[in-house]
Amino acid sequence: MRVEKASHTEIAGWLNRIEAATGRLERASKTPLGQLERFHGFPRHSTPPTFWKTYVSGPKYSYDQMPDLTGKVAIVTGANIGLGYATMVALAGHGAHVFAACRSKQRATEAIERALVEVKERFPNTAPQDPQIEFLELDLNDLHKVRRAAKEFLDRGLPLHILVNNSGIMGVPYQLSADGIESQFAVNHMGHFVFTMDLLDRIKTSQPSRIVVLSSLGHETTVKGGIDFETLNDETKSSAMTRYGRSKLANILFGKALARRLKDERVYVNIAHPGFVATALSRSANETYGASAEKVFDFMKSWMAMTPETGALTQLYLATTAYARDEELQEKLWEFSEELVREKLGKKKPAAAAAAAATSSSAGPKN
């Protein structure tokens, strides 16, 4: 017992020393990081320190590439903090009417107040005069409340073009939701399942529309067999992190099954792993695994994670980028290609069509 305690303290000590060194390096590298941030087009933010992964690999989508979203209505779950907050700010900053679907009215109201200022600061050229962000009460831990939230939105009579199922909890100690379902499965999957299905008719009548599901690479650490439907609530068959993995696998399976059901609609379902992002997602590490685990998470977040602003670009890309699915652009490309063929090859038929015509005429009629 004493040995265990000693090594525990020692690890914490090492982490403290590493953290102190991290702080020194951060200060030393502040100028180049600041420059790189400007290069990527977003201002320095009061999130945890930003690090090499964000800057070395760099985002492929940028806030400058986001289209004008005037007239679009979006819901972002868990928008009061982290990736959801960054997503809400960017959507509102490009003209969308955004609903922050959050469980705490106070946290959401404070976040919206901050966001309304940030929208104008970060997106001065695209933000509308009066950015529209509203609170929608949504507690994914209680399916009756989820249903109520969807109804509250539907009663407003608005279209719904973008739904970002972003809320999530990770690695929390074993507990049951209000409906008696293991909590990570309940919040991360079941709550979003009910919310999405209740909103689906509205999403369909608003098409083209998007549903973005936040999953995680963590889905690979699921319980044995993927999803253990028979023993979902059996605490002995899972750990805090395999339960997270199971819920994130459920996000992918749900997203794919939904996309299949919507294949004839212009409702597009996209599933994202945002990368490793410095957010409050690991807030239960202390409670579940102890103080050292929390320090490890904090250290990794400091050195290896992206800022929420950079991490959110993946879900924003999936929620907003239009190029490949832009029918106008598709037709424009078609006309341009035909025009280019005429210009380069004259009025001649393309080689493949000419060959096909020759074959069919030499083969003669078939009965």
Ligand X SMILES: NC(=O)c1ccc[n+]([C@@H]2O[C@H](COP(=O)([O-])OP(=O)(O)OC[C@H]3O[C@@H](n4cnc5c(N)ncnc54)[C@H](OP(=O)(O)O)[C@@H]3O)[C@@H](O)[C@H]2O)c1
Question: Taking the complex as a whole, how short is the minimal distance between the CB of residue 183 and ligand X, in angstroms?
Answer: 8
Question: Taking the complex as a whole, how short is the minimal distance between the CB of residue 115 and ligand X, in angstroms?
Answer: 13
| Alpha carbon distance 75, 88 (integer Å) | 8
For residues 80 and 209, which CB has a smaller minimum distance to ligand X in the complex? 80
DSSP 152: H
Q: Which one of the listed residues 63, 244, 289, 317 is annotated catalytic?
A: 244
For residues 128 and 245, which CB has a smaller minimum distance to ligand X in the complex? 245
| 63 is annotated as an active-site residue | no
Cis previous bond, 208, omega within 30: yes
| Alpha carbon distance 43, 312 (integer Å) | 14
Question: Taking the complex as a whole, how short is the minimal distance between the CB of residue 316 and ligand X, in angstroms?
Answer: 13
| Alpha carbon distance 140, 149 (integer Å) | 10
Tokens read off for 367: 């009965």
Per the CB < 8 A criterion, the answer to whether 152 and 69 are in contact is no
For residues 100 and 203, which CB has a smaller minimum distance to ligand X in the complex? 100
Interacting residues toward ligand X by CB under 6 A: 77-78, 80-84, 102-104, 107, 138-141, 166-170, 187, 214, 216, 273-274, 276-277, 279-281
For residues 77 and 238, which CB has a smaller minimum distance to ligand X in the complex? 77
Q: Where are the alpha helices (DSSP H) in the chain?
A: 2-28, 30-40, 52-57, 82-93, 105-122, 143-155, 183-184, 192-205, 240-261, 285-289, 291-304, 308-320, 327-345, 351-363
| Alpha carbon distance 213, 333 (integer Å) | 30
Question: Taking the complex as a whole, how short is the minimal distance between the CB of residue 307 and ligand X, in angstroms?
Answer: 11
Question: Taking the complex as a whole, how short is the minimal distance between the CB of residue 208 and ligand X, in angstroms?
Answer: 24
Question: 83 vs 49, 172, 277, CA distance in Å?
Answer: 15, 19, 8
Q: Which residues are catalytic?
A: 244
